Every structure is written in C-alpha cells, then in structure tokens.
A = this chain, B = another copy of it.
Amino acid sequence: MIFRQLFDAESFTYTYLIGDEQTGQAALIDPVIGKTNEYLVLLEQLRLTLMVVMDTHTHADHITALGALRDKTGCKTMLGQQAVATCVTDNFSAGDRILIGDLRLEVLYTPGHTNDSYSFYLLAGDQPMLFSGDTLLIRGTGRTDFQNGDARQQYHSLFNVLLKFPDRTLVYPGHDYKGWTVSTVGEEKAHNPRLQVTDEQAYVDLMGSLHLPNPAMMDVAVPANQACGVIGD
C-alpha cells in the first residue's frame, strides 16, 4: 500500500491518499479544493490513478475538492447517504465496502458531529487503521452543536463503534490543531479527556457545555460543499 497523510495549513485539515501498489488504483479522503493540483501532481508522480474521492461528512470549515477532482479526472465522488449534496456520483452507507484495487475500506456510520458523518476502517497488512473524520480527534471529539449534530448519537458512534476496534488500531483524524498526526484507539481510550465520562448523559452534558463559536468559513463552506465545492453544481 502507498499511504500519504497530507495537511492543509489553512484549515488544519488532514487529507489521506490510499493507493494500491498492485493495481495502481487510489482514493483520497477529505481533499481540500486549494490543494487539487498538488494532489494531481503527487498521484501522477506515484503512478496512481484516482478512482474515488470521498468526504467523511459535509465539512463546515473548508471547501471540498470532490467536484474539482471529478471534473479533472472523472473519478467517482462519494458522500454518505444522509448528505444533502446531490452532486456526488455515489453514496455510501453503513456496512458498505469501498474497493481500492485489492484494498478494502469498510464504511462505518458514525453520526454525531453531523448526521452524515462516517468513518472508514482499513486493514493494511496486519495494521488496522481508522480514518475517523471529525468524530474521533486526537484527544478530542468533533463538536455536535450544528449541522444536525447530536451528542447522544456521537457517544454511541464513539463507544459502540470506533472504540470497539483493537487498542493498537491507528487513528487518523480529519483535523488536528496542535500538530499531532496520528494516535491509537488505546491511547484515546486512556487519554482523550472527552472519553473519560461515566455514561451517555455525562457526555451529552459535556458537549452541551462547550459553547463554541461557529467556524469562520461555515456560511460559505456548507453550501459550497453541498455542491461538491464547485459553483453551479
């Protein structure tokens, strides 16, 4: 497998490139529109063909490159079935498998940050990897106070879905604001302050007490992303 974690310093977004060396097929998770040309250069240099791009959810803090990459490469574009965007070529839902050559991404429905939040699980050799979007962050979790967010659903997504994977599973989040690039399920169970609650109600109370300001780009990014980042879609 060819694997690259790519960082957008404007929105602190992580984008993931997953390529299958045998077949030359590749996918991008959570690409950012301003980086579109850099992704295409990297894919070409790695001799990979972009087959599919997907967002873990409809983002509120950056504009997706789904539409731009589709227009430039003809790749499939995917969002979860709850997403409002009608511009994608395909939707995924819980239990689906997305094939990238011989690699297999398992689709996990993990609502809470938004109602269209998904995570992806990949077993690479004997190393389990979890692409956790904005559901599970490194020492944090995604806010649940807009875009049909729901702390009760997120509690379930965290404790009954993501944290059920083995402790050594690598956790690759959708963002990190302090410069950390990866964690593990075991580390997050032990040291993520939001995961030390005693029960669902305590988590709901914790998330309800945050009172965060809206993301600066929210009013632009959400409608843009509902059009796959391309005006006129």
Interface centre among A6, A7, A45 (most CB of B within 10 A): A7
Known: A7-B7, A9-B9. A178 touches B38 (CB 8 A): yes
Inside 8 A of A46's CB, which chain B residues have their CB? 187
Inside 8 A of A232's CB, which chain B residues have their CB? none
Interface size class for chain A? 20 to 34
Residue of B nearest to A6 (CB): B179
Copies of this chain, count? 2
Q: Which of B4, B8, B9, B45 contacts A181 (CB 8 A)?
A: B4
A9/B179 in contact, CB under 8 A? yes
Residue of B nearest to A182 (CB): B4
What residues make up the interface of A, taking CB atoms closer than 8 Å to B? 4-9, 12, 35, 38, 42, 45-46, 178-182, 187, 190-191
Known A7-B7, A7-B181, A38-B178; 20 more pairs at CB < 8 Å:
A4-B180, A4-B181, A4-B182, A5-B181, A5-B182, A6-B179, A6-B180, A6-B181, A7-B179, A7-B180, A8-B179, A9-B9, A9-B12, A9-B179, A42-B180, A45-B187, A45-B190, A45-B191, A46-B187, A181-B181
8 tightest Cβ-Cβ pairs between the two chains A and B: A7-B179, A45-B191, A5-B181, A6-B179, A8-B179, A9-B179, A6-B180, A9-B9
